[in-house]
Amino acid sequence: MAAFNVVRMKLKPGEEDAFVAFHRGRDISAFKGMKSFHLVKTGDGEFVVIGEWEDIDALIAARPQMIATLDGVRDKLEDLGGGLGLTDPRSGTAVVSLGV
């Protein structure tokens, strides 16, 4: 069953162009088991990253690589507050999938 990771983040003012360019230039083939990657703008300076994976084992195995990628943009992120830090990550296995 497919698995997904979702990470919410907020950018420091003036960092949006560099942040988007960083992700636009990525090659997801370096992430074994990743099927798709989406960067979604959810508000002013707010983004969600959504990764689709072949299965939860592939997602788990890629976590160190995902953290290393995050390190490349960590300086562009604002603290989310409430003790969350710079990101609000979630991941899990799909229980319902609909689509084309």
Q: pLDDT per residue over 1-43, tens digit each? A: 899 999 999 999 999 999 999 999 889 999 999 999 999 999 9
- Does 98 reside within a domain? no
Number of domains in the chain: 1
pTM over 0.95: no
* Single-letter amino acid, residue 87: T
- Does 27 reside within a domain? yes
**Which residues lie across from 9 on neighbouring strands?**
47, 87
- Does 80 reside within a domain? yes
Domain that holds residue 40: 3-93
Q: What is the CATH number of the domain that holds 72?
A: 3.30.70.100
- Does 100 reside within a domain? no
How far is the C-alpha of 61 from the C-alpha of 40, rounded, in Å?
24
pLDDT recorded at residue 29: 93
- Does 15 reside within a domain? yes
- Does 99 reside within a domain? no
Tokens of 50: 């959504």
- The separation between the first and the last C-alpha atoms of the chain, rounded to the nearest angstrom, is 17
List CB contacts of 78: < 8 A, sequence separation 6 or more: 10, 11, 12, 45, 86
- Does 9 reside within a domain? yes
